[in-house]
Amino acid sequence: MDSSLIQTIAVYALPVIFAITLHEAAHGYVARLLGDNTAYMMGRVSFNPMRHIDPLGTIAIPLILYFATGGALMFGYAKPVPIAFRNLRNPRWGSLWVALAGPGCNFVQALVWAVFGVALALLSIDEPFLTRMAQAGIGVNLVLGFLNLFPLPPLDGGRVLVALLPPRAAIALARLEPYGFFIVMALVMTGVLTKFWLSPLVGLGYDAVRAILTPFVSLLN
């Protein structure tokens, strides 16, 4: 393992752990607020990353893709949080808010990492490792958030769309869930999802972060 890979892993480790852990915990937390205690009872409303790591999706697949593509592509997932949607006080709209909780948490984290980066600059802390970590935190959370909003089950965006569609269309879309992962993997591997979904939306995410922080930065100058 060369030094550049070790440095990359060190820079991305905390942002990725926080992004995955808080994303999954947010699903379980909102589900509990809306009537379903399944995730809470199984210990998944937790800041402990070990409760959310999937050996295949969180470790094996990202490493295989990294080495197979020379670092050009990384894709992975955490262990899904168990939600009994029938237990929600309003299963249809409750499932929508539970689904949005994960990406919403990632967007908040992206903003927090951006604030951290700005704070480093304002305090004149010239530490390249921390600066790169802040940048990684923004990027990782924007990518994870928008990837999960792709409108195909079992991704969060697919569950949102199922909640919004009329019953017949929602049932038809829900039937794709067993194949959704393979469809998403194919779109990622061919670059279609990145070109037409992730790149435009992540760009907008960066613009939104800058727009939110610019007024505060100008006040401090």
Using CA atoms of 200, 132, 7, 106 in order, give the dihedral in degrees to the nearest 10.
-50
Minimal CA–CA distance to 14: which of 113, 103, 119? Answer: 113
Measure the CA–CA gap between 15 and 53, rounded to whole angstroms.
14
Peptide bond just before 154 cis, omega within 30 deg: yes
Measure the CA–CA gap between 163 and 97, rounded to whole angstroms.
10
Judge whether 127 counts as a catalytic residue. no
Measure the CA–CA gap between 32 and 52, rounded to whole angstroms.
17
Torsional sign, CA 80, 169, 163, 109: positive
Measure the CA–CA gap between 105 and 122, rounded to whole angstroms.
26
**Can you say how many angstroms the Cα of residue 125 is from the centroid of all Cα atoms in its chain?**
28
Torsional sign, CA 62, 105, 199, 181: positive
Among candidate residues 20, 21, 24, 27, the one labeled active-site is: 24
Measure the CA–CA gap between 105 and 25, rounded to whole angstroms.
9
Cβ neighbours of 15 (radius 10 Å): 23
Q: Which residues are catalytic?
A: 24
